[in-house]
Amino acid sequence: MRIGTGYDVHRLVEDRKLILCGVEIPYELGLLGHSDADVALHAIMDALLGAASMKDIGYHFPDTDPAYKGASSMELLRKVGDMLDEKMYVISNIDCTIICQRPKLRPYLDQMVTNVAEALGIEESQVNIKATTEEGLGFTGTGEGISSQAVCLLESALDGPVRSIDPEEMQAGGGCAACPMRGKHPDQAEVDLLNKSEETSL
């Protein structure tokens, strides 16, 4: 298993939308950033990339690249999920804390969990998102910005014995019991790789 942590912070300013885990939250201020500045997703992505030893979001989606100006962080999260798939990492769980004095986020947390789970193709039970204030202390407590911390656990599909996968088990649009890849079907090359892993582990 591999553990990753992530942290991010963005300043609150006027004339910006406040978007957290893909949810647009009504508020007079929004987060400043090159993309949509979704501070919670940025922390989650850094945790996932860190656990996989794949650097960070600044490396993969630099703020100097105009292609990511105003980009949806939900789309970037999906890209990170695809990168984990390519390395054959399976997400065990994600835990994220949003540190925000105002506005109150509790009414939006369930939708945030749903958004993250859907983007990564995992179960909602594998995602936990919570919010806390800082009792008026620090830049988050005074409402100057919002920060977020995240931790995740990854497992490699290549670690340990894997049951041999029969390609006939795969049905279009469905899953199979042996498939480790976030509910997605592996292609034939992935099947061969998994079966080879089983042989070498015996």
134 is in an annotated binding site: yes
Average pLDDT, the chain: 87
Tell which wins on pLDDT, 197 or 31. Answer: 31
142 is in an annotated binding site: no
Average of per-residue pLDDT across 74-97: 97
Classify strands 89-99 and 127-132 as parallel, antiparallel or unpaired: parallel
166 is in an annotated binding site: no
Residue 55: per-residue pLDDT: 96
Note the pLDDT tens digit of each residue in 40-61: 999 999 999 999 999 999 999 9
Alpha carbon distance 45, 72 (integer Å): 13
73 is in an annotated binding site: no
95 is in an annotated binding site: no
Note the pLDDT tens digit of each residue in 76-86: 999 999 999 99
C-alpha dist (Å) from residue 53 to 106, 154, 162? 32, 11, 23
85 is in an annotated binding site: no
Residue 200: per-residue pLDDT: 46
139 is in an annotated binding site: yes
Average of per-residue pLDDT across 191-201: 53
185 is in an annotated binding site: no
CATH code at 2-156: 3.30.1330.50
Query: Whole-prediction pTM value?
Result: 0.80
62 is in an annotated binding site: yes
Domain boundaries, the chain: 2-156
Average of per-residue pLDDT across 10-35: 97
Q: Alpha-carbon Rg of the chain, whole angstroms?
A: 19
Provide the percentage of residues in the chain whose pLDDT is more than 70.
79
Q: The tokens 């995240």 sit on which residue?
A: 150
Cis-peptide into 103, omega within 30 deg: yes
Q: For helices 109-120 and 39-51, give the axis angle rounded to 10 degrees.
A: 40
